Chain A
Amino acid sequence: MMEMSQFATVIGQPFMQRALIGGLLTGSLGGLLGSFAVLRQLSFFSDALGHSALLGISLGILLGLNPTLVLIPFAVLFALLVNLLVQRSQLPTDALLNIVYSTSLAFAVVALSLVTTYKGGIQQLLFGDILGISWLDLALIAVLLVAAVAYLLVSLRAQVLVTLHADLAGAFGVGSQWHRIAFILLLAVVVAVSIKAVGVLLISAFVVIPACASRLVSRRFGTYLVLSSVIGGGCAVLGLLGSGLTNLPSGPCVVIVQFFGFLLALGVSLWRRERGRAVLA
């Protein structure tokens, strides 16, 4: 009974309610975009963008600006720059991303060490502070979620065909280049907006883990997209509740719950395969 009343107290806090809504929105958004990002091999892109974002945040602190406002243009520039590098260079994409993100990280750490006033907050930058999320942040994430859902819904055919075969897509009237850049920009903005809640180190888990879990168990593309968003949102809410009850840091709690979700999906897919074999035998 003690636990129930403790639970009610935690839920009753306005900051916790904001955190839960924020987690639900961020998690669903990450899962939705992740379902395409994973198929297009952009998992490492979101990771590199997350790490590089620390530079954007440090610049914001140095200039005395709101980090979220600096992060969005920073992420867009990063995405365009990486895209240009990948197009123009003969080097493999993962190597290029590595160069860009380790350099950004190095500059960010140097910049942060210059700012004496911010040293206490480094952990919040690395792991996020979903409990400190404001109504303005929530509104921004909600707008982004609506925009992402609308764009992906009306361009679903283009997204699938571009992922499957660029020439096939082009021959059937899909501007592959245009959709590729639009998706990368959308992913960049989503990563930038989610970083405050999730932190630069764990942001890519929000994009990658729910999508991979959904991929393991889905047998239709529509199911895959919806399930990926549901896993993303559901794991975020469970992780935050766990974090609220145990006083453990919120971002890592969510990622641990996501990982258990992934293990569950892996178990289901293995069990299905075994059953399929048994039926055939």
Chain B
Amino acid sequence: MAVLEVEGLRVVRDGVLAVDDVSFQLAAESDTALVGPNGAGKSSLVGAILGLIPRQAGEVRILGHRLGPAGQLPAQVRAQLAFLPQALPLQGRLPLTVAEFVGFGWDPPGPRLPWSGGGARRSAVRSALAKTGCGPLAGRLLSELSGGQLKRVLLAFCVVRPRRLLVLDEAQAGLDAPSTEQFHSLLFDLRRSEGWTVLQVSHDLDMVRRSCDQVLCLNRQLRCSGRPELALSRAQLERLYDPADVPGPPGRRAPQGSPRIR
């Protein structure tokens, strides 16, 4: 059974058609990259899959369960789903320790008392911090972490409970080269050991070539998909990133949207 099935998905955002008739499937334990220029609808696609923004048409099924029109999923399916945002812009505002934060990743959705779970919760947090190399950070505040440390803590937040599908939004954003390398090797190991299915938005085509086994090239519609060596051929990339093809006003495209081709 596919972990994620998307069929004829159509998303309109602020009156603009952002995602048009997109269909694909993610097989269990696969690692798929979502690439495309800025403004191509990657964030809208991810938002619609997670149930954060409404869709105009199409179906999304996660672990065989249909995502409701307002993003509803059964709690036990939702608990197997994880999302890693680009950054936590407000991390400095909360006096929240790493261990407290990761504990909230263990709690299932819905109302519950903060001390329920007790020992099982504490040991799950300890083990998640150990798996991601965050053990020494347990008592630190989120505001005291470097960019690379915060990304590892976010991975701990995902790994603290068994998950099936992990969605990452530009995980390497804001990281220097060694931290990016370290993050991806940790993600690669965790994906293997935890049996995660991964969908990641990425601009780093070298990383995609090395570690992903499927690529989805999005420019409002799905332009191509398949194994990285085929989907990321020079001809396909030129089609995908063709400025004439990109929807929306040209001034909104930032330079990091262009692919890095070696």
* Residue ranges of A at the interface with B (Cβ–Cβ < 8 Å): 39, 153-158, 160-161, 163-165, 167-168, 170-174, 215, 218-224
Contacts and interface: CB of A to CB of B under 8 A. Distances in A.
Given A154-B113, A164-B90, A165-B90, A170 B52 contact: yes
A172 B112 contact: no
Contact of A160 (B71, B104, B112, B141): B104
A45 B150 CA distance: 31
Contacts of B105: 172
5 cross-chain pairs, A with B, having the tightest CB-CB distances, nearest first:
A173-B109, A171-B83, A173-B78, A154-B111, A170-B52
A248 to B, nearest CB: 34
A164 B101 CA distance: 10
The prevalent SS among residues of A at the interface is: helix
Interface of B: 47, 50-52, 71, 73, 75, 78-79, 81-83, 85, 88-91, 93-97, 100-101, 104-105, 107-114, 139, 141, 167
Contact of B81 (A39, A164, A171, A222): A171
Contacts of A170: 50-52, 71
Contacts of A172: 78, 81-83, 105, 109
A42 B172 CA distance: 32
A131 B238 CA distance: 76
Given A155-B111, A220-B96, A221-B96, 20 more contacts: A157-B104, A160-B101, A163-B93, A163-B94, A164-B94, A167-B85, A170-B52, A170-B71, A171-B51, A171-B167, A172-B81, A172-B105, A173-B78, A173-B79, A219-B95, A219-B97, A220-B95, A221-B94, A222-B100, A223-B95
A164 B92 CA distance: 9
Contacts of B111: 154-155, 158
A154 B90 CA distance: 23
Contacts of B113: 153-154
Contacts of A222: 100, 114
Given A170-B51, A171-B50, A172-B109, A39 B94 contact: yes
A39 B97 CA distance: 15
Contacts of B109: 172-174
Given A154-B111, A163-B90, A171-B83, A215 B95 contact: yes
A165 B94 contact: no
Contacts of B104: 157, 160-161
A170 B47 CA distance: 10
A170 B48 CA distance: 11
A39 B52 contact: no
A151 B78 CA distance: 22
Nearest to A174: B109
Nearest to B167: A171
Nearest to B105: A172
A221 B82 contact: no
B144 to A, nearest CB: 10
A219 B79 CA distance: 28
Contacts of A153: 113-114
A167 B8 CA distance: 23
B96 A168 contact: no
A158 B105 CA distance: 11
A180 to B, nearest CB: 14
Contacts of B50: 167, 170-171
A221 B107 contact: no
A223 B83 CA distance: 28
Given A157-B104, A167-B47, A168-B88, A173 B95 contact: no
A25 B82 CA distance: 40
Nearest to B74: A173
A164 B88 contact: yes
A161 B114 CA distance: 14
B131 to A, nearest CB: 19
A168 B85 contact: yes
Given A39-B94, A174-B109, A220 B78 contact: no
Contact of A220 (B71, B100, B108): B100
A160 B104 CA distance: 9
A134 B96 CA distance: 39
Nearest to B99: A220
A221 B73 contact: no
Contacts of B95: 215, 218-221, 223-224
Nearest to A170: B52
B223 to A, nearest CB: 26
A123 B7 CA distance: 65
Contacts of A218: 95
A21 B141 CA distance: 35
14 contacts: A39-B93, A39-B94, A155-B111, A156-B114, A164-B91, A164-B94, A167-B50, A167-B83, A168-B85, A172-B83, A219-B95, A220-B95, A223-B95, A224-B95
A174 B112 CA distance: 13
B26 to A, nearest CB: 16
Contacts of B73: 173
Contacts of B96: 160, 164, 220-221
